[in-house]
Amino acid sequence: MAMDGYRGFLGLLVAALLVGFLSVLFTLIWVLHYREGLGWDGSGLEFNWHPVLMVTGFVFIQGIAIIVYRLPWTWKCSKLLMKSIHAGLHATATLLAIIAVVAVFDYHSARAIPHMYSLHSWIGLTVVILYVLQLLLGVLIFLLPWAPLSVRAAAMPIHVYSGLLLFGTVIATVLMGVTEKLFFALKNPAYHSFPPEGVFTNTLGLLILVFGALIFWIATRPQWKRPKEAGSILQPNGGAADGMEGPMAVSVSSSADRSDAELNSDAAARKRTFGLDETGQRSTM
Amino acid sequence: MAMDGYRGFLGLLVAALLVGFLSVLFTLIWVLHYREGLGWDGSGLEFNWHPVLMVTGFVFIQGIAIIVYRLPWTWKCSKLLMKSIHAGLHATATLLAIIAVVAVFDYHSARAIPHMYSLHSWIGLTVVILYVLQLLLGVLIFLLPWAPLSVRAAAMPIHVYSGLLLFGTVIATVLMGVTEKLFFALKNPAYHSFPPEGVFTNTLGLLILVFGALIFWIATRPQWKRPKEAGSILQPNGGAADGMEGPMAVSVSSSADRSDAELNSDAAARKRTFGLDETGQRSTM
């Protein structure tokens, strides 16, 4: 990576981490300072785990999981290791999202509030189920060594598209949840009279949106994609699919008219561009 | 385009148009059947223009504007014509979105409801302003003949990214708006008792989300991108930027190490793949 590109990447990564941390911090301040705090007793304290776990797991950790291949200092790590980290972060996000769903179902049951009536709940539960499916298919096709390369190549553009779509839908669902909660909770003074909690939590919503925008930018710059390993096309956790994990770089997988030679010369060109040597700095596992 | 790819494209286009039409239809049924109808008198009738114009203009027309370059039967049309259609559709969407914002401000003023207190309004107004900016910059840089190719090439990935981000944010904002309105409007019977209007309008929300997902898929398949014109690199509304309007295909613009020869052989290969002849079927204007 040229020094300029590297600095640009680092700047955006730091910005994303900062905005992501602020989102989690703002969520904690919201529930601990403006709301009742946290607990697991069927009361509002239990409900409050819902936003905390969703923003921490389903927004922040999922966002980091999406861009983890793009950290240049991981390019010398094996692809299998990076896939495991990618899958592990998504699994962590899944776990936190499921606990967050349980918290809100528990809370509704304890208060005899009906389940699943709002648009937020319809989209939210759908996205959790599809996210679990995406994780299972991802492990089955890309992490485990059994799927043939043709299946990996065909599945990768769908995996990348679904991943970004689910991430965006999660953010939309969080913003709907914030909206819902503020209209419920802010009665006296009302939301429309600009109470500090309203302004503060609106700001939290903006932070989450900006975090999403930064992740979306980082994940879709072709120049920040993990370089392909030349000559590793036939290794199960090495080559062919490597070129396709970048959302914007699916042209490689879809250009059926491009030869392997072109792919390899591309890889070599990228290695030069990104300043890596050719002497096995990176293991392909 | 191979026949299979063409059929796949047509199928998804028809699906997107169908889901888009249904979204507009559902919005009309919502305000005409379940709500008070339409009018321009400061009452709820005026507010109701807000969802109608937003779903029609800011969701449906914007979505079509995004994918208009990808319709294969337009590839024989001049690039200038297609840019004008793209800009014209976005301008129409802008106009409808602005009228929709005016409707809700008018309604708030007539009822002495404060403006701009909700997260929906913060994000919504921001996105309208950024959308206008995106349109103005787009016309200035890509439609008018003055911007040098280097500026066009540098701006294109940002234009594509911003366009998709704004479209996604519009959909998120619409879903927040639906949530807000249903919690306001459904009191007796309440939203949580599953009244027909709640279920119907939740379904509208799902339709809008599916429309967004279909547009996002169509707009990001590299194989459905308008082919570049070989040999038109230096024409102001012809060449260099042509290869970059596809959101996922920015690799061409960013691979500084790829030569023009490669670009042109790509273009020729694409022409063969897409079954177009080389005899000037398409004007580059």
pLDDT for the residue B242: 39
Cβ atoms of A221 and B254 within 8 Å: the answer is: yes
pLDDT for the residue B4: 74
Q: Is B281 at the interface with chain A, CB within 8 A? A: no
3-state SS string over chain B?
A: CCHHHHHHHHHHHHHHHHHHHHHHHHHHHHHHHHCCCCCCCCCHHHHCHHHHHHHHHHHHHHHHHHHHHHCHHHCCCCHHHHHHHHHHHHHHHHHHHHHHHHHHHHHHHHCCCCCCCCHHHHHHHHHHHHHHHHHHHHHHHHHCCCCCHHHHHHHHHHHHHHHHHHHHHHHHHHHHHHHHHHHHHCECCEHHHCCHHHHHHHHHHHHHHHHHHHHHHHHHCHHHCCCCCCCCCCCCCCCHHHHHCCHHHCHHHHCCCCCHHHHHHHHHHHHHHCCCCCCCCCCCC
Contact A117 B205 (CB under 8 A): no
This complex has an ipTM of 0.84
Section A125-143 average pLDDT: 98
* Of A61 and A259, the one with more pLDDT: A61
Neighboring chain B residues of A27 at a CB cutoff of 8 Å: none
Rounded mean pLDDT of chain B? 85
Selected residues 236-265 of chain A with any CB under 8 Å from a CB in chain B: 247-251, 254-258
| Phi-psi sector, B42: left (phi>0), alpha (psi -120 to 50), beta | left
Alpha-carbon gap: B270 to the closest alpha carbon of chain A (Å): 9
pLDDT band with cut points at 50, 70 and 90 for residue A5: confident
pLDDT for the residue B259: 34
Alpha-carbon gap: B88 to the closest alpha carbon of chain A (Å): 26
Q: Is A221 at the interface with chain B, CB within 8 A? A: yes
pLDDT for the residue A15: 98
**Among partner residues B171, B193, B249, which is closest to A172 by beta-carbon distance?**
B171
Mutate to test the interface with A, among B129, B162, B179 (most CBs of A within 10 A): B179
**Among partner residues A175, A198, A273, which is closest to B172 by beta-carbon distance?**
A175
Selected residues 152-211 of chain A with any CB under 8 Å from a CB in chain B: 157, 161, 165, 168-169, 171-173, 175-176, 178-180, 182-184, 191-194, 198, 201-202, 205-206, 209
pLDDT, tens digit (0-9, with 9 covering 90-100), for A32-53: 999 999 999 999 999 999 999 9
Instruction: State yes or no: pLDDT of B122 exceeds 50.
Output: yes
pLDDT for the residue A273: 39
pLDDT, tens digit (0-9, with 9 covering 90-100), for B218-227: 999 999 999 9
Matching residue, tokens 């998709």: B164
pLDDT for the residue A246: 39
Identity of the amino acid at A62: Q
CB neighbour burial string for A216-244, b if at least 16 within 10 angstroms, e if fewer: bbbbbbbbbbbbbbbebbebbbbbbbbbb
Neighboring chain A residues of B227 at a CB cutoff of 8 Å: none
pLDDT band with cut points at 50, 70 and 90 for residue A269: very low
pLDDT band with cut points at 50, 70 and 90 for residue B249: very low
Section B157-168 average pLDDT: 98
pLDDT for the residue A229: 73
pLDDT band with cut points at 50, 70 and 90 for residue A262: very low
Output the pTM of the full model. Answer: 0.85
pLDDT for the residue A66: 98
Determine which of A27-31, A161-165, A235-239, B111-115 has the lowest per-residue pLDDT on average: A235-239
Nearest CA in chain A to B207: A123
Contact A113 B165 (CB under 8 A): no
Contact A194 B165 (CB under 8 A): no
Instruction: State yes or no: pLDDT of B282 exceeds 90.
Output: no
Instruction: State yes or no: pLDDT of B81 exceeds 90.
Output: yes
Alpha-carbon gap: B93 to the closest alpha carbon of chain A (Å): 21
pLDDT, tens digit (0-9, with 9 covering 90-100), for A208-241: 999 999 999 999 999 999 998 754 444 455 443 3
Section B89-97 average pLDDT: 98
pLDDT for the residue B57: 98
Instruction: State yes or no: pLDDT of B272 exceeds 80.
Output: no
**Among partner residues A114, A202, A209, which is closest to B192 by beta-carbon distance?**
A114
Alpha-carbon gap: A213 to the closest alpha carbon of chain B (Å): 7
Contact B205 A122 (CB under 8 A): yes
Alpha-carbon gap: A74 to the closest alpha carbon of chain B (Å): 22
pLDDT for the residue B125: 98
Phi, psi angles (nearest 5°) of residue B233: -55, -35
Contact A123 B178 (CB under 8 A): no
pLDDT band with cut points at 50, 70 and 90 for residue B228: confident
Instruction: State the Cα–Cα distance between residues A115 and A121, nearest whole angstrom.
Output: 8
pLDDT band with cut points at 50, 70 and 90 for residue A1: low
**Among partner residues A165, A169, A206, which is closest to B122 by beta-carbon distance?**
A206
pLDDT, tens digit (0-9, with 9 covering 90-100), for A116-127: 999 999 999 999
Selected residues 96-135 of chain A with any CB under 8 Å from a CB in chain B: 113-114, 117-120, 122-123
Instruction: State yes or no: pLDDT of B212 exceeds 80.
Output: yes
Alpha-carbon gap: A217 to the closest alpha carbon of chain B (Å): 7
Contact A192 B119 (CB under 8 A): no
